[in-house]
Amino acid sequence: MAIVLRIIDGPCSGREFRRDRLDTFVVGRSRLASCPVADRYLSRYHFLIEAHPPHCQVRDLGSRNGTKLNGRLIEGLVPLRDGDRLEAGDSLFEIRVEPETHEFRDSFGNSGPLSDSETTPGLPPTFELFLTPRPSLVTSQTRCLECDTPLRLEERVDGLAPDDDPNGVAWICPACRDRLSRFPPPPPGYVLERWLGRGGMGSVHLGRHLQTGTRVAIKTLIPQIASHPRARAYFRREVEVMRALRHRRIVRYYGVVETAGRFQLIMEYVESIDAAQRLRIQEGPMETATVLRIGLQLLDALQHAHERGYVHRDIKPSNLLLTPRPGGAVGYDLKLADFGLARSFRDQAGLTGLTNPGDLVGTLGFLAPDLIRDARAVTQSSDLYSVGATLYYLLTREYPYLNFDPRRDDSFQVVLEHPPLPLTARRPDLPEALSRVLERALEKSPRRRWPTAAAMADALRRVAHLMPRSESSGS
Catalytic residues: 314
Rg, C-alpha atoms of the chain: 23
Do the annotations mark residue 219 as ligand-binding? yes
CB within 8 A of 62, min separation 6: which ones?
43, 408, 409, 410, 411, 412, 413, 414
CA 308 to centroid of chain Cα atoms = 20
User: What secondary structure, in 3-state letters, does 426-474 show?
Assistant: HCCCCCHHHHHHHHHHCCCCHHHCCCCHHHHHHHHHHHHHHCCHHHCCC
How many whole angstroms separate alpha carbon 247 and alpha carbon 273?
19
DSSP per residue over 155-216, as a string?
Answer: S-EET--TTS--TT-B---HHHHHHHHHSPPPPTTEEEEEEEEE-SS-EEEEEEETTT--EE
The amino acid sitting at 387 is: V
Q: Is 48 exposed, middle or buried (CB count within 10 Å of its CB: 0-12, 13-18, 19+)?
A: buried
* Beta strand ranges found along 231-293 (DSSP E): 253-259, 262-268, 273-274
Q: Is 457 exposed, middle or buried (CB count within 10 Å of its CB: 0-12, 13-18, 19+)?
A: buried
How many whole angstroms separate alpha carbon 333 and alpha carbon 323?
5
CB within 8 A of 286, min separation 6: which ones?
275, 278, 279, 294, 394, 395
How many whole angstroms separate alpha carbon 111 and alpha carbon 255?
21
Comparing CA positions, the residue from 319, 315, 320 lying closest to residue 291 is: 320
DSSP state, 143? Answer: B
What number of other Cβ atoms are within 10 A of residue 409's Cβ? 20
Binding residues for ATP: 219
